[in-house]
A = this chain, B = another copy of it.
Amino acid sequence: MHTNTNSWILKGMICYSKSKEELSVMENGYLVCCQGICQGVFPSIPEEFKSLPLTDYQDALIFPGMTDLHLHAPQYPFCGLGMDLELLEWLENHTFPEESRYCSLDYARQAYGIFTEDLKASPTTRAVIFSTIHSPATKLLMDLLEDTGLATYVGKVNMDQNCPDFLREADAHAALEDTRQWLKDTMNAYRHTKPILTPRFAPTCSAALMEGLGKLQREYGLPVQSHLSENLSETAWVKELFPWSSFYGDVYDRFGLFGSGKGNNAPAVMAHCVHSPREEVLRMKEKGVFVAHCPQSNTNLSSGIAPIRSYLEEGLFIGLGTDLAGGTNLSMFRCITDAIAVSKLYWRLVDQSAKPLTLEEGFYLATIGGGSFFGKVGSFEKGYEADVLVADDSLIPRPQGQSIQNRLARFIYLSQEKGKLIGKYVAGRKIF
């Protein structure tokens, strides 16, 4: 028995992104992990690793874990509800009333218990998560997530204006005190779970609140998550609320909540970016801001389609998000196919110069694209943290035989009906 369970070898049908366009495939390959870090993929076990414990997954597919770059844990209980509404009505009718329930730790324990169990079983190995304004429930969520072994950022939500009384922080000062205490309580409390600053979105945050959050960001060097340019009514509202801003993202940037330049250790991730003007895109590039592309949510809430091809060409950091419960499905496999699907409609209906996403590109975004928010994550190249999924596709009928690439494609498209994950590792830790 090996003493370090974060060092191992997995054998099987291995696929991972070599680049945005190209998949690397090795049949009956060996993926070697030492102390949670990938050492590479080999056709036979190199001499130096022969003492490591081996798990032979035989005909199963082995590929990198997926990062869900944007989702709301407290919204899980009402996934699939209110899907006939647009963003602002949906927030008012479903989201805000549901989120207010998390002032009860009993309710939070029940609801977050379901959420974390399901997230653990899903293809997601890492996630960047919104909770609610409630610090106790947020800490509970972080406790539960830590127990899953997944690697996550979790944000206690800040909102002190333009939201119902029952879901509003008393004022900027109280919000900031509460947030500071929550940060102190959680910053070093976990191994895999970290806090992230989370102004809900510009309309619900006073200038005083955002200014204070910017200070906290600089004081603690924290990453930031929020929403950006999701819906046309929302962007018009932001312009009205912050008339001095050059564009929506400029509001966050003015308060130091929009990243601090490429390669920084505390990046920002902005969900949606469906209606970002050119200046906003350039600012995101300059500041190294990540786009969390949430295709299903943007469809469900009739927001539109983010111009993902142009973001790729611009060289932005991009990952995918399920955006529960604007998106209804926890599965990152579904998220990949949704991203591909809407990119085809964008090409057909909006801009015929914007080539649709390929499967390889969708896979890249779900693995390396979003994984980069966590560092070297999402690939099996030497030096990457070993996040791994093992997929049994034997229930997907293929009477005619198929290549590994095709098996991967079909698993991604059909996993909700026929796929089964039989192994999951995060930074080398076996989750199941």
Contact = CB atoms under 8 A, between A and B. Distances in A.
Contacts of A349: 304-305, 345-346, 349-350
A162 interface: no
Contacts of A303: 348
B358 A77 contact: no
A398 interface: yes
Give the dominant DSSP class at A's interface.
helix
A346 B346 CA distance: 11
A171 to B, nearest CB: 29
Interface stretch (A78-86, A217-225, A256-264): A78-86
Nearest to A331: B417
A392 to B, nearest CB: 16
A114 B347 CA distance: 35
Contact of A81 (B79, B114, B300, B410): B410
B299 A345 contact: yes
Interface residues of A, number: 53
A101 interface: yes
Contact of A356 (B76, B79, B84, B400): B84
Contact of A302 (B348, B402, B406, B412): B348
Q: Which of A337, A399, A413 has the most CB of B within 10 A?
A: A399
A141 to B, nearest CB: 14
B107 A399 contact: yes
Contact of A416 (B350, B399, B402, B417): B417
10 contacts: A77-B400, A78-B410, A79-B414, A83-B337, A107-B399, A111-B397, A114-B397, A328-B413, A329-B414, A345-B345
